Chains A and B, each alone.
Chain A
Amino acid sequence: MSLIKGATRWVLFLAARGEPETRHILDLAYGLYCLEAAGIPQANIAIYIDGNDRQLTSQLLGSGTSNTYVIKSTNDFFSDQQQNSHENLVMFVTGHGSIDGIDALNPIRPYPLLKSVKDSPNLVQAVLYLGQCHAGIFNYIGAGRSNVDTKKPDPNVIIIGATSLHESLSASTNEQLGSNPVSWMANVFLLHLFKWISAPVDVDGDGRTTVIDSFKYAGAMANGVNKNVKMHTFHQSFDLRMKCASAEQNHKTQQTLASEIALKAAHAQYFNAMNVGHIHQESWILNAIPAQSIEF
């Protein structure tokens, strides 16, 4: 049974130590739009996002859907997994990450996340897509099934990361979410992953659309986009540097809230150009063999 037609729990996950960033919520809004477009029923989609401003989060998340979803905090994910009744779990993680793990009030480290998934009752297999910076710290852990010969084997877990021990890249995009044209700084890997789910492509030509195809598509597309963005921003960066210097000078003279905000805007654009030019991103997959046979 494929993931879409089978008993699968689809999880959109955004942890944050404070308020989540708008761009990360919009990553998941696009994801939700694509999951619904793929025919995944609302009842099988669960959303976990931290932060106090639930109204704003709910509005942004609803940019591409007419359905209403309950948005829980990420702590609830771990307790909900203890009550799991689905055979499959597919989880999408956006937000910040570091050497400490997924950013949260208590950062989420690789083994506690893996243990939560492994200990989920009734679960047979899980696919975790990690979009955050330094996702590679979730690589090289015991994700595969370890007790195959017992009556109750543990779930087979596949982990896919947008990037290894580096930061991950975001870039401005304009996507049509239903009838709404929405612009945000999208996580490039997750964007293409969600796009693939809404319109799967058989990359390896085996006649099936599997988890490994999603990895190859999102990874190759993200690498291509990142190269294009690097080339484009290299040319822009000289002009952005000049604007930044001009805004700095202006703020020194004026010292107003308006000049401060103008400086922040110029700064943000220039440093984004510098970041894009100096960050390497390379996607990876752990437990690739079962990924070749799990179909969407």
Chain B
Amino acid sequence: MKFNDILSSDLPEIDESVKQCVNFGRWLLFRSSSIDKKSVHAHLYLKTDEQILELDPLGRILKEIPREEVTVHIDEICYFSDMPRPQSLSNTRIAV
């Protein structure tokens, strides 16, 4: 499993709030070659709290994949390099 940075402009159809959820680790944006692609446009996947969604190359949501029908194998987890990421909390110094 790899971790990869992409530009937000590469996926213009993804809403900004969704991109923030991805970058702050609330949701997962990933590539997978193992999910059966019935849609030839499937390019990326978005895992929210309860759903897995199939995205086209521009980030447009194609459909929801029923959770019980897939075993997910992630090839690559993606973050947006040109949007804010959280800071490391484990290296935080407490201000007094």
* Chain A interface residues (CB < 8 Å from chain B): 19, 21-23, 26, 52-53, 55-56, 59-60, 62-63, 171-176, 180-186, 188, 191-192, 194-195, 220-221, 224-225, 228, 243, 247, 257-258, 261-262, 264-266, 268-269, 272
Contacts and interface: CB of A to CB of B under 8 A. Distances in A.
B89 A171 contact: yes
A183 B24 contact: yes
A128 B21 CA distance: 32
B71 A192 contact: no
A58 to B, nearest CB: 10
Contacts of A60: 74
Contacts of B63: 257
Task: Give 9 closest A-B pairs by Cβ, nearest first.
Answer: A224-B94, A183-B25, A262-B15, A172-B86, A184-B25, A265-B17, A173-B89, A172-B24, A56-B72
Contacts of A224: 92, 94-95
A282 to B, nearest CB: 16
Interface of B: 1, 3, 13, 15, 17-18, 20-21, 23-28, 46-49, 51, 53, 60-61, 63-64, 67-68, 71-74, 77, 79, 85-90, 92, 94-95
Contact of A53 (B15, B49, B72, B79): B72
B95 A174 contact: no
Contact of B61 (A26, A52, A247, A257): A257
Given A174-B87, A224-B94, A183 B48 contact: no
B25 A172 contact: yes
A75 B13 CA distance: 43
